[in-house]
Amino acid sequence: MNKEKPTILILCTGNSCRSHLAEGVLRAAGGDLFNVASAGSKPAGYVHPLAIVAMKEIGIDISAHTSKHMNTFLEGEVETVITVCGNADQACPIYPGQVNRHHWPFEDPAHALGTDEEKLAVFRRVREEIRLRFTAYADGRRDERKSAVAKEGAA
């Protein structure tokens, strides 16, 4: 495992919305600290267009993301797995090198009903919930790393 930049894998069922929102946010907030990827237990095969729009609004481009199966990552080392829906949490395997596992469920915006604007409003709300949680996570990991470096320097 790359000790400098461990891999964090974000899982959901379809790998079309929530996991891509989280991947984009976490990469923007902590890409200097870790490699970030997302996958699904039953990948939809596409990234939801409204997820792309919602992220573009905050300056994060996920248009090149692809929907992947979680088994794609069984060959490499994954330090942390974060599931963002209950189904993925139940289906999640243990990955080589896995040290941490977190389950942070979010509403699936793909199930939003109404006009395109009403659906986009749900994507925006879920995006902001994800942004708060994953930015705080990146900040916490950054603080941990600074503390560890300071301890090494004092030793």
Residue 82 belongs to what H/E stretch? strand 80-83
**Domain residue ranges in the chain:** 7-150
| Closest among 1, 16, 12 to 81, alpha carbons compared | 12
Q: What are the DSSP calls for 20-52, one per residue?
A: HHHHHHHHHHHTTT-EEEEEESS--SS--HHHH
pTM for this predicted structure: 0.91
- Ramachandran angles phi, psi of 45, nearest 5°: 95, 0
Active-site residue set: 12, 85, 92
CATH hierarchy code of domain 7-150: 3.40.50.2300
Please give the average per-residue pLDDT across 47-56, as a whole number. 98
* pLDDT (tens digit per residue) in 77-102: 999 999 998 776 677 777 877 789 99
